[in-house]
Amino acid sequence: KSKNQVLAFDFGASSGRAIIGYLEDGKIKMEEVYRFSNDPVTVGKTMYWDTLRQFFEIKQGMLKAKQKGGFKSLGIDTWGVDFGLLDEHGVLLENAIHYRDDRTLGMQEEVFKVLPKDRVYNLSGNQFENFNTIFQVYALVKKRPWLLERAETLLLTPDLFNYFLTGEKKAEYTMATTTQLMDAKNRCWSQEILEALEIPEKLLAEIVPSGTTVGELSEDICEELGLEKAKVISVASHDTQSAVVAVPTQKEDFLFISCGTWSLFGTELKEPIINEDSLKYNVSNEGGYGNTTTLLKNIIGLWLVQESRRQWMREGVEYGFGELEQLATKAKPFVSFIDPDAPEFNTAGNIPKRIRQFCARTGQAIPETVGDVVCCINQSLALKYRYTLEQIEACTKKTYPEIHMIGGGIQSKLLCQMTASANNKKVIAGPVEATALGNIAVQLMALGEIENLQKAREIIRASEDTKEYRPENGEDWEEAYQKFKQIIIKEA
């Protein structure tokens, strides 16, 4: 076994994992050493992340990894946009607030009063989403300015943990590009945005490229846990970008859908595309490993199934994901469709009820059974992918023969098959563990064990099996798509 074991922490919206990875016989080998839940906590009207608990779990993960032979380096990836604030002593001022918290409602309009929407887009190149850091910070400017005055530094989640581990404050590039506070073309914090919104620039740390060694585990932590020194590497710390590293392709132009709680549908570019079309379609330019840009669209994703499942649990019935898929397969297809990204589906709560209300409002048959609901969600997602595909192709002025689906969501064979059919394209599904593989690969590149991104993708291709899906029932899906488009257009 290679001595160069690395440790990847991958935080998802409801759980996190610690995974050891190493190179062996030209393949990346992985072993999950620890899994923990990551539960947001609502207090009063605020939905927090349990930041200190999350850090506790990082310590637990390091201890488990120690028992499995230790690690030369570690890297952390998480969801985007959220942050912690530190005072002048480096003390966390309050728990990080969850991106699904609704303090940002109405903040887009407030921001556009001081900096017009198209200007914000032309600078940042980011898809407008209520939860973007820009709107979270502006909510503080407007509602809790004293907190910002107390703050010395703002660090995005992985940067915050890297700071707790090393004492170094840096802003990793891929993560920084999720804030909508950056100048996408010049790859730096946007003075113009910061000034217009009266956000002090000193809050923001120096931007460093993915793969930068931020520092070493602090002596205190090594002593507390009995660990050897190890490097802390800023991987592509935005989980989506770790996943994109692991797309098993050798092509320059490719499409991916990273499937998890969210579906991120996009393509990798050398430079951002910021123009009238990309603004009209509200597509995002987000930074990727190696200074790439990914042009992508956030789609609500399997959150709809996850949150529906929680609702049925609250009603007393617990379904496994496999079981839900079975029920959906038996339901009558092509009956009713929703716009998965309609605002009412964004927040936690009774999703099946909201789906029924959506269908009633749009004059469609109401999905009654659990199978009907899950079928409606999956078909609507697959159709939304097609809708998005057309927007991406319009922006890049290219067409693509196939779609790579990566991430935990591809365990739903139903969704993969529907995606192939709805988009009339071959789907190559895999790897399931894209995010962890990408995190590990960036560490191995930083340690000099893998040469470059292309080589990393070659190794990942050799390491993991993929499964192909071909389009089926073309006419039915074409008809469904026309109906779906009508609904989306009418609702807009």
Check binding of 79 to ligand LFR (CB under 6 A). yes
Give the SS3 label for residue 296.
Answer: strand
| In the complex, minimum distance from the CB of residue 245 to ligand LFR, in angstroms, rounded to a whole number | 14
> Which of residues 38 and 261 has its CB atom nearest to ligand LFR in the complex?
261
> Which of residues 73 and 435 has its CB atom nearest to ligand LFR in the complex?
435
Residue 118 annotated as catalytic:
no
Contact 252, 396 (CB under 8 A): no
Check binding of 173 to ligand LFR (CB under 6 A). no
Check binding of 199 to ligand LFR (CB under 6 A). no
> Looking at 66-74, 76-84, 146-154, 414-422, which segment touches ligand LFR (CB under 6 A)?
76-84
154 sits in which H/E element: strand 153-156
Separation between Cα atoms, residue 194 and residue 124, nearest integer Å: 12
> Looking at 77-85, 158-166, 218-226, 319-327, which segment touches ligand LFR (CB under 6 A)?
77-85
Which of these, 143, 161, 152, lies nearest to 8 by C-alpha position? 161
| In the complex, minimum distance from the CB of residue 466 to ligand LFR, in angstroms, rounded to a whole number | 21
Separation between Cα atoms, residue 290 and residue 271, nearest integer Å: 12
Separation between Cα atoms, residue 60 and residue 348, nearest integer Å: 29
Amino acid at 147: L
| Of 128, 138, 189, 262, the one binding ligand LFR by CB under 6 A | 262
For residue 430, the cross-strand partners are none
Check binding of 11 to ligand LFR (CB under 6 A). no
* Sign of the four-CA dihedral 80, 81, 82, 85: positive
> Which of residues 240 and 379 has its CB atom nearest to ligand LFR in the complex?
240
| Of 75, 80, 211, 272, the one binding ligand LFR by CB under 6 A | 80
Per-residue DSSP letters for 105-122? Answer: TTHHHHHHHHS-HHHHHH
Contact 360, 344 (CB under 8 A): no
Check binding of 99 to ligand LFR (CB under 6 A). yes
Annotated catalytic residue: which of 10, 77, 159, 239?
239
| Of 81, 107, 184, 406, the one binding ligand LFR by CB under 6 A | 81
- Rg over CA atoms, the chain: 22
The gap between the terminal CA atoms of the chain, to the nearest Å, is: 56
> Which of residues 124 and 298 has its CB atom nearest to ligand LFR in the complex?
298
Separation between Cα atoms, residue 233 and residue 219, nearest integer Å: 17
Give the count of residues interacting with ligand LFR (CB under 6 A): 12
> Which of residues 297 and 386 has its CB atom nearest to ligand LFR in the complex?
297
Which residues are part of the catalytic machinery? 239
- Provide the binding-site residues for ligand LFR, judged by CB under 6 A: 79-81, 99, 238-240, 260-262, 264, 298
